[in-house]
Amino acid sequence: MEVDSIPQQAQEKVAQIERADLVVAILADLDPQGIAAICNELQPLAGSARIAVLQNEKSGTPTGANAQNTQRSAFPFLVSWPLLRPDPGAPVMSMFSAYQSAFVASEKLGARACCVVASKLESAPQWIYQMAKPMLEKEIDLVLPRYARHRFEGLMNSSIISPIARSLYGKQIHNPMGPDLAVSQRLFRKVMGSERNSRMNGAHALASLTSAAVCSNLQLYEMNLGARIYPPTDWTNLSSVLAQVLSPIFLDIERNAIFWQRMRGSAPLPMIGDPVPASQDTSSLDISRMIELFELGNRDLQEIWRLVLPPGTLFELHKLSRLPVEQFQMPDELWARIVYDFAVAHSTRVIERQQLLRSMTPLYLGWVRGFVEDVRDLDGEGTESRVEALCGWFEREKPYAIARWRWPDSFNP
């Protein structure tokens, strides 16, 4: 997103600010009171640092006592900014654009760091202070969230994004794409510069933050944020969301192939804050159609899957499709190899990339169905252990990923 595309009113307000040590971009759908609460939590930093708070241009302005508190907290710099550009056909891509917009503003203001508030959390808003303070006082480049685990939330992250980032980049990162996070100047400049210079269309700042930090040997931390309140999953649009999320991740894997093929094992990140317990998880998930959609894909997508998956994997999927519903369970090691296979196929362009990723949906639902059965009666700690087991299989199957990447044709007859 270039500065020319920013509304004139926002440009004028930024010109008045001139500079800021810290930019806090509020992407979450908060009411004026919520925005005022965040500003007030940042007040202890305002005496030694110049802070600019960017709110979605659709958000309201703090009023009444909240407005007075906000003004007294040295925040004349509350800027309405086009953080969420309307794009009804591609909500995930709009979120990527929101981060790019926040980084553009941070770069223009010369900020030492940018914090992004993207979620509603069950915990109080003091976490924003705890995240921002070390960004200003220590040599930290990226703070990522660690949310208290709910059984059926963040399934795409638990099943693909986190395990593959851990396996390839050697860091036990629970939420590589945030969305609540803090980024140093040198990291957001690196990512924005890479995007401007990259010829790989489709790369996005949010998908590249973690890998860029790891590959550049920068300082990463995690922070306990409690439970995140997730928006409802749009199961009717799952194929589109899956393609939008995985495409920039797979592009990033392609760009960093030389690095991750040398990486072995994984290590945890240093942690900020104490674990915050989640409230009782009473959520449920309807899985009645997941196997039906898996079997439908197994019948109708064989032509595509044969271009992506080796014969051994296709045979395993065929056996799964013949099992009774109560016995259906996709093994973690099979799912890990499938994800690696699709990453390779995305790089080699065996078919059009959006079509490729959409064809992954029945396989994803097949794995999710078994996972849901596994964690149905578990608490957050038990669910965490189940996800940890999956991550372990992604690490153990990494030699397979490297071999597939180096010799993609040798796995097919």
Last residue of a domain, one of 245, 272, 299: 272
Question: Across the strands, what pairs with 120?
Answer: 229
Instruction: Answer yes or no: do 257 and 332 share one domain.
Output: no
0.85 exceeded by the pTM? yes
In a domain, 280, yes or no: no
Sign (positive or negative) of CA dihedral 223, 229, 231, 234: positive
Tally of domains in the chain: 2
What pLDDT is stored for residue 405 in this prediction?
Answer: 96
What pLDDT is stored for residue 175 in this prediction?
Answer: 97
- Backbone φ and ψ for 163, nearest 5 degrees, come out as -60, -40
User: Whole domain around residue 91: which residue ranges?
Assistant: 7-272
Instruction: Answer yes or no: do 239 and 348 share one domain.
Output: no
In a domain, 50, yes or no: yes
Residues 6+ apart with CB under 8 A from 378: 151, 386
Identity (one letter) of the amino acid at 192?
A: M
d(CA 10, CA 403): 50
d(CA 353, CA 371): 27
What pLDDT is stored for residue 409 in this prediction?
Answer: 79
Q: Of the candidates 290, 197, 176, 312, which has an alpha carbon nearest to the alpha carbon of residue 235?
A: 290
3-state secondary structure the chain: CCHHHCCHHHHHHHHHHCCCCEEEEECCCCCHHHHHHHHHHCHHHHCCCCEEEEEECCCCCCCHHHHHHHHHCCCCCEEEECCCCCCCCCHHHHHHHHHHHHHHHHHHCCCCEEEEECCEECCCCCHHHHHHHHHHHCCCCEEEEEECCCCCCCHHHHHHHHHHHHHHHCEECCCCCCCCEEEEHHHHHHHHHHHHHCCCCCCCHHHHHHHHHHHCCCCEEEEEEECEECCCCCHHHHHHHHHHHHHHHHHHHHHCHHHHCCCCCCEECCEECCCCCCCCCCCCCCCCCHHHHHHHHHHHCHHHHHHHCCHHHHHHHHHHHCCCHHHCCCCHHHHHHHHHHHHHHHHHCCCCHHHHHHCCHHHHHHHHHHHHHHHCCCCHHHHHHHHHHHHHHHHHCHHHHHHHHHCHHHHCC
**Residues of the chain under the 70 pLDDT cut:** 1-11, 13-14, 57-76, 81-93, 194-203, 411-413
What pLDDT is stored for residue 101 in this prediction?
Answer: 84
Identity (one letter) of the amino acid at 136?
A: L
Q: Of the candidates 229, 223, 230, which has an alpha carbon nearest to the alpha carbon of residue 146?
A: 223
Instruction: Answer yes or no: do 203 and 259 share one domain.
Output: yes
d(CA 388, CA 386): 5
Q: Cα 126 from chain centroid? A: 22
Instruction: Answer yes or no: do 169 and 109 share one domain.
Output: yes
In a domain, 310, yes or no: yes
d(CA 126, CA 116): 14
Instruction: Answer yes or no: do 55 and 187 share one domain.
Output: yes
Last residue of a domain, one of 211, 246, 272: 272
What pLDDT is stored for residue 92 in this prediction?
Answer: 67
Last residue of a domain, one of 217, 244, 272: 272
In a domain, 277, yes or no: no
End-to-end CA distance of the chain: give it in Å, rounded: 45
d(CA 83, CA 102): 7
What pLDDT is stored for residue 10 in this prediction?
Answer: 65
Instruction: Answer yes or no: do 208 and 313 share one domain.
Output: no
Instruction: Answer yes or no: do 245 and 357 share one domain.
Output: no
Instruction: Answer yes or no: do 233 and 303 share one domain.
Output: no
List pLDDT tens digits, range 312-367: 999 999 999 888 888 899 999 999 999 999 999 999 999 999 999 999 999 999 99
Instruction: Answer yes or no: do 107 and 232 share one domain.
Output: yes
Instruction: Answer yes or no: do 126 and 251 share one domain.
Output: yes
Q: Which two tokens stand for residue 41?
A: 């939590």
Sign (positive or negative) of CA dihedral 182, 188, 191, 195: positive
Instruction: Answer yes or no: do 98 and 195 share one domain.
Output: yes
**Orientation of helix 332-348 relative to helix 238-255, angle to 10°:** 70
d(CA 100, CA 183): 12
d(CA 90, CA 23): 26
Instruction: Answer yes or no: do 263 and 302 share one domain.
Output: no
List pLDDT tens digits, range 286-297: 777 888 899 999
CATH number of the structural domain spanning residue 117: 3.90.550.10
d(CA 217, CA 211): 10
In a domain, 149, yes or no: yes
Question: Across the strands, what pairs with 172?
Answer: 268
In a domain, 279, yes or no: no
What pLDDT is stored for residue 283 in this prediction?
Answer: 74
In a domain, 283, yes or no: no
In a domain, 285, yes or no: no
